[in-house]
Chains A and B, each alone.
Chain A
Amino acid sequence: MRAVRDGCRSERLYRQLLRSYPRAFREQYGEAMVELFRDLSEAAGAGGSARLVRFWLRTFSSVVINGLLERGGDGARRLVEHVQFVVSLGRAGRTLLRSPGVNALVVLTLALGIGANVALFSVLRGVLLQPLPFPEAERLVRIRETNAAVGGEQHGPSPLNFADWDGAAADFESMAAWYLTSGTYRGDFGAEEIRSAQVTADFFRVLGVRPAIGRDFVREEVVRYGPVMLSDRVWERLFGRDPAVIGRRIVSSNLSYEIVGVMPPDFAFPDASVETWIAWDLRNVYRDRPESRTWRFLDAIGRLAPGVPVAGAESSLRALTTALAEAHPAENRGWEVSLASLHEEMVGAVRSTLWMAFAAVLCLLLIACANVANLLLARVPARGRDLAIRSALGASRRRLSHELVAENVVLSGVAGLLGLAIGVAMLDALVAIDAGRIPRLGEVRVDGGVLVFTLVVTAFTGMIFGLVPTLHALDGAVVAALRGTRGSASAAQQRVREVFVVSQIAVALVLLTAASLLVTTLSHLTRQDPGIDPRNVATFRVSLDPVDGTSEEIVGYYDGLLTKLRELPGVERAGAAQTLPLNPVGNDFTRPFRHTGSSVASADAPLAQMRIITDGYIEAVGMRVIAGRTLPATVRADEPLVALVNETMARRLWPAGIAVGETFDLDFRDGWQPYRVLGVVADVKHYGPRQDARAEAYVAHAQVPYLAMSFAVRTTRAARAMHEAMRAAVVGHLPMQPPHNFVTLAALTRDSVSEERFLSLLLTVFSAIALLLCATGVYGVMSYSVSQRRREIGVRIALGADPRQVVARVLGRAAALAGTGIVLGIVIVVSGGGLIDSLLYGITPRDPVITLLVASMMLIVASLAAWLPARRAASIAPVVALGSD
C-alpha cells in the first residue's frame, strides 16, 4: 500500500517535470511518457535505493534538459549546448592525456608565450597606460623654462620667476616647485643622511595626496624653511612608527623642524629615494638675491583648473612670462615657459623600450602559435581517420567539431593558467632586477585588466593554433580517410604547414634583427670613450653640516678628510667634486660664461656646467689632461681664480687658438669674475654615452668652496671592499657627519646603459627561443613532407637517383621555404624599421650587414633543421617504399 502511495507521489512530481516540455508535445506524448516512467521506476526500485537515487537524478536532468530543448527556444537550446560543451571539456581533457608528451609540449610552448605577454602587458599597462596614482592626474603638468638662444634645452624655473607665477596664473588651480637635496638629521637615533625634497607649501595639494597621519603644510606657517613631512620609511626607521612623533622637532643642518605629518607608504614623488619633504618659502629665501632670477634649478608642477587644456594654460602662462621679461629684461630676456603632461614627462623616456619589448613578446607568441598549429596538424591524418569512421557511423559534424574545439579550449585554457603563473613570476623578476630603471615599476600590479588581457590572449591563441587543424581534421582529412587515400587533402595540409613555417621564419627574422641591432647598439655605447676610467673607483658623498661654516672651515674639513683617505691602505688617488659623472645624486648646475672683456649680459651668455673639484679629482676618476696641467694642490683662496675647461668649452671660447693661459669670465659668486685656464681636459660623458658632451668649467674647491661634495677614490683592490674602511675614515674625521650614497663608478657606468642592456638581453633570449621554435617548425614540416613522399622518393631511388640528389632536393625545398620567410621578414624590417630607430645608437635599422648576417643565420638554421629529414629521405629503401602503399 505504501509503495503505491510513493508511486503516486513520484508520478505527480514527474508530471510536474513534464511541464518543461511544450504543451503540444505533452498532449501527444505525455501519457506515453508517464507509462514509460512507471515501468522504468518499477525496474529501478527493484534494484535497491542507490539505483533509485541514480534513476531519479538521471530522470530529473534528462526530462528538464530535453523539455527545454523541445521547447526549441534558441536561448534554451544554446544554454543546453553550453552545458554539454562544458561536459565535453572533461572528455577532451581525458583524450588529451592519452598523448601527454605532445600536449605537454603544446601547453608549455603556449604558456611561455602567454606568460611573457602577461608580464610585459602588466608593465606596459601599469607604466604607460594607467594614469599616475594621483586624483585627476591628467590635470597635472610639468612646468619648465626654455630659451632658444641657449640651445632650446629645458630648464627648471628660477625661484623668483616661479614665485611670481604662483598665484598669478589664472588657468592653474595650484602650483608647486621642489629641489632635491639631502641633509644630515641628528637625534636619539644618531646621525643619518637623508634624501629630502625642499618643497613649496602647496606641493601635496597639487598632487592631491593627504598625509596618512598628521596634517598638510599651511601656506602661512612657512617662513624660509620648515615644517617637515616624513615618509613612511623614515617614520618606521627613525621613530618606530610612534604616532606621538607629530608635533615633535628634528634637527638638520642646524635648523629645527616641526614634524607635521607622515605620508602614506606608497607615496613616492618626485621619486622613491626622497624620505622627507621640507616646506620652503621661495620668496622669503630669495627676496634679497635678485640675481637668483637666473638660477633655473627648480623642478615645478602645476594642477590645471578643471577643463583647461594644456595648450591653453601654456599660452596664458606665456603672457605672464612676457610681462616678467619686460620687468626683468637682464634675467629673463628670451626665456619662454613650456608645459608638458606630468605622466608623459615621467614615462616618455621608456615608452619605446616598453613597446619594443611588448612587440617582441607578441612576435614570440605568434611563432609559438604557428609551431603548435603545426604540431596539431601533424596529428590530423590519424585523427581524421578516427573522425571519418565516427562520422560515417552517424556522429554529426557539429558534434565532432565540438569535440575538437573542446580539446583546443582545454589546451589553451591550461596554457593560459600556466601562462598567468609564468607571467606573474616574470613580472616579479622584472621588478627585482628593476628592468632598466623603468619608472613606476613598483606600481605595476596584476589586476582585473591583466586577467582580461590574459583571457583575450588565450582565446586568440586558441583560435590561431586551433582553427586551421580543426577545419582540416573535419574536412579534408575526413574525405581522404573515407577514400582510404592520402591524396589532395594532405597536399593542402602540407601547404598550410609551409605557410606557417614561412611566417614563423619571417617573424623570427624580425626579432633576430631587432636583437642584433640592440646588441650592436649596446656595444657601441659601451665602447664610447666615457672620458673617465671607471675601474676600481669607489664613490660616496658627504653633505657637510652646519651650513653656516666659514670658507676656511669647509676647505679645512675636506682637505683633512682627503689626507686621511689617501693614507688608507689600497688607496691610490682621492679627490672630490660637487657632482660626479653618471651619478644623479649631487648638485649639478650651470653658470653663464663669456670671453674676458665681453660685456654680454648673464641672460644672453652661454652656460657652462659647473664642476667644483679638489686636487686629485682629475686623477682619481681617470680623466685625461689634453693640454696644460691639472689643478695643483697648492691653489690658495687668495690667489687669482684658476680653472680647467673641457674640449667642448675650449672650442666654444677659442675655436682656433690655444686655451691654456687665456682667461674667461664666469658669473659665479660675486658676479662676473675672470678665471685663468690652467689646462684642457678630454670631454666626459657626464650624462651617459648617448648624450653629447656639454661645456664644462672645472674650478678649484679651495677658491670657491662648496658644502656637499662627492668623493672619488681610486683603489688598488676591489672598490666595493673599501667602503667600510672609507666610512670609518669619514666618521673618524668628524663624528656625527656620516657619508652616504656609496656606489662604485663601474656600477654607475653599467647602469648608464641598463635600459639598452635590459632590452638587448630580453630580445636575445626571445630571438633564441624563436630560432629554436623555427628549427623545430622546419624540422617538423620537412620530416612530414618526406614521410608523405616516401613512395615518390623510393621510386626515384629505384630508378637510380643519386642519394645526394635526394638530400639536395629536400634541402632545396627547406631553403626555398626559409628564403620566402627571409624575404618576407626583410620586407617587414625595411618597412617598419623606423619604429626602433630611437632606441639605436651608431647603427641604422636597415643596416645591410646585420640584415645579411641575420638572413644567413636563418638559412643555416633552416638547413640544419632539414638535414635529418633529408638524410632519412636518402636512406629510403626502394622496395620498402613501394610496398608501403
Chain B
Amino acid sequence: MAGASRSARDRIEAHLPLKPVDFHILLVLAEGDLHGYGMVKAIESTSEGRVRLEPGNLYRFIRRLVDAGLVGAAGVRAAGGGDGERRRYYRITAQGRRVLAAEASRMRSLAAAARALVGRPRERG
C-alpha cells in the first residue's frame, strides 16, 4: 500500500515543476469548465497579463495537458454569451487537480526560501 501511494506521488512529481502556462491553464480550469476564449480571458486576468496566449499555441498546450491526462474534453454546449453559438469546453481531471495542488505547495516553500534569502540584511557594501 505504501508502495502504491509512493508511485502515485511519483506520478504527480513527474509533472513538476509545471511550466507557467500549464500552471495557469490548470488554475483557471480548477474554477470551472471553460472554452478557448474563456481560458484566454481568465488567464490574462489571473496572470496579470504576464502569460499571453495566442490563437496558435493555446490548443497545443491543451493537447499536451490532454495527452498527460491532466485535462479532458467537456463536450460541446451553448456559450453563456446569449448569441446562441456553441463552444467546445474543457475541464480539469482529478489527476490535474492533484498536480496543481502539488505545484502550489512547491511554490509556497520556494517563496519561503526566497523570502528568507531576500529578507536578510544586505551583505555587500
The answer to whether A and B assemble together is yes
Chain A residues within 8 Å of B, Cβ to Cβ? 14, 25, 28-29, 31-33, 35-40, 43, 58-59, 61-67, 69-70, 385, 389, 392-394, 396, 482, 484, 787, 883-885
Of A25, A59, A67, A396, the contact of B63 (CB 8 Å cutoff) = A25
Q: Is the CB of B123 within 8 A of A69?
A: no
Q: Is the CB of A32 within 8 A of B60?
A: no
Which of B6-14, B16-24, B25-33, B94-102 faces chain A? B16-24
Q: Is the CB of B56 within 8 A of A62?
A: yes
From residue A800, how far is it (CB to closest CB) to chain B in Å?
Answer: 25
Q: Is the CB of A36 within 8 A of B36?
A: yes
Chain B contacts of A36 at CB under 8 A?
Answer: 35-37, 40, 55, 58-59
Q: Is the CB of A35 within 8 A of B35?
A: yes
Known pairs A14-B55, A69-B60. 5 more at Cβ < 8 A? A29-B63, A33-B36, A36-B35, A65-B56, A885-B123
Chain B residues within 8 Å of A, Cβ to Cβ? 17-20, 23, 35-37, 40, 54-60, 62-63, 85, 87-88, 110, 113-114, 116-117, 121, 123-124
Q: Is the CB of B117 within 8 A of A884?
A: no
A-B contact pairs, 26 of them (CB 8 A): A25-B63, A32-B35, A32-B36, A32-B87, A33-B58, A33-B59, A35-B35, A36-B35, A40-B40, A58-B54, A59-B54, A59-B55, A62-B55, A62-B56, A66-B54, A66-B56, A389-B114, A392-B17, A393-B20, A394-B20, A396-B19, A482-B113, A484-B113, A484-B116, A484-B117, A883-B121
Minimum CB distance partner of B39 in chain A: A36
Chain A contacts of B62 at CB under 8 A?
Answer: 29, 32
From residue A879, how far is it (CB to closest CB) to chain B in Å?
Answer: 13
Minimum CB distance partner of B22 in chain A: A394
CA distance A37 to B40 in the complex (A): 11
Q: Is the CB of A63 within 8 A of B55?
A: yes
Of A35, A67, A385, A885, the contact of B37 (CB 8 Å cutoff) = A35
Nearest 4 CB-CB pairs, A to B?
A62-B56, A39-B37, A36-B36, A62-B54
Q: Is the CB of B55 within 8 A of A29?
A: no
Minimum CB distance partner of A33 in chain B: B59
Q: Is the CB of A39 within 8 A of B56?
A: no
From residue B124, how far is it (CB to closest CB) to chain A in Å?
Answer: 8
From residue B114, how far is it (CB to closest CB) to chain A in Å?
Answer: 6
Minimum CB distance partner of B111 in chain A: A392
Chain B contacts of A40 at CB under 8 A?
Answer: 37, 40, 55
CA distance A25 to B59 in the complex (A): 9
Q: Is the CB of B88 within 8 A of A32?
A: yes
CA distance A369 to B57 in the complex (A): 41
Q: Is the CB of B60 within 8 A of A70?
A: yes
Q: Is the CB of A35 within 8 A of B88?
A: yes
Minimum CB distance partner of B114 in chain A: A389
- A394 and B18 contact, Cβ closer than 8 Å, known pairs A36-B40, A482-B113: yes
Chain B contacts of A394 at CB under 8 A?
Answer: 17-20, 23
Chain A contacts of B17 at CB under 8 A?
Answer: 392-394
From residue A623, how far is it (CB to closest CB) to chain B in Å?
Answer: 72
Q: Is the CB of B20 within 8 A of A66?
A: no
For A39, A67, A69, A883, the residue with the greatest tally of chain B CB atoms inside 10 Å of its CB is: A39
Q: Is the CB of A63 within 8 A of B113?
A: no
Of B18, B23, B59, the contact of A32 (CB 8 Å cutoff) = B59
Chain B contacts of A393 at CB under 8 A?
Answer: 17, 20
Chain A contacts of B20 at CB under 8 A?
Answer: 393-394
Q: Is the CB of B60 within 8 A of A39?
A: no
Minimum CB distance partner of A14 in chain B: B55
Minimum CB distance partner of B62 in chain A: A29
CA distance A62 to B17 in the complex (A): 25
CA distance A622 to B110 in the complex (A): 88
Minimum CB distance partner of B17 in chain A: A394
Chain B contacts of A14 at CB under 8 A?
Answer: 55
Minimum CB distance partner of A63 in chain B: B56
Minimum CB distance partner of A31 in chain B: B88
Minimum CB distance partner of B123 in chain A: A884
Chain A contacts of B58 at CB under 8 A?
Answer: 33, 36
Chain A contacts of B63 at CB under 8 A?
Answer: 25, 28-29, 70
From residue A701, how far is it (CB to closest CB) to chain B in Å?
Answer: 83
Q: Is the CB of B56 within 8 A of A64?
A: yes
From residue B123, how far is it (CB to closest CB) to chain A in Å?
Answer: 5
CA distance A43 to B81 in the complex (A): 13
Chain A contacts of B124 at CB under 8 A?
Answer: 787, 884
CA distance A66 to B55 in the complex (A): 10
CA distance A66 to B117 in the complex (A): 39
From residue B5, how far is it (CB to closest CB) to chain A in Å?
Answer: 26
Chain A contacts of B60 at CB under 8 A?
Answer: 66, 69-70
From residue A55, how far is it (CB to closest CB) to chain B in Å?
Answer: 9
From residue B75, how far is it (CB to closest CB) to chain A in Å?
Answer: 12
Of A32, A33, A70, A392, the contact of B110 (CB 8 Å cutoff) = A392
Chain B contacts of A484 at CB under 8 A?
Answer: 113, 116-117
Q: Is the CB of A39 within 8 A of B54?
A: no
Chain A contacts of B123 at CB under 8 A?
Answer: 884-885
From residue A294, how far is it (CB to closest CB) to chain B in Å?
Answer: 86
Minimum CB distance partner of B38 in chain A: A39
Minimum CB distance partner of B16 in chain A: A394
CA distance A25 to B61 in the complex (A): 12
CA distance A403 to B92 in the complex (A): 33
Minimum CB distance partner of A41 in chain B: B55
Of A66, A482, A787, A884, the contact of B57 (CB 8 Å cutoff) = A66
From residue A59, how far is it (CB to closest CB) to chain B in Å?
Answer: 5
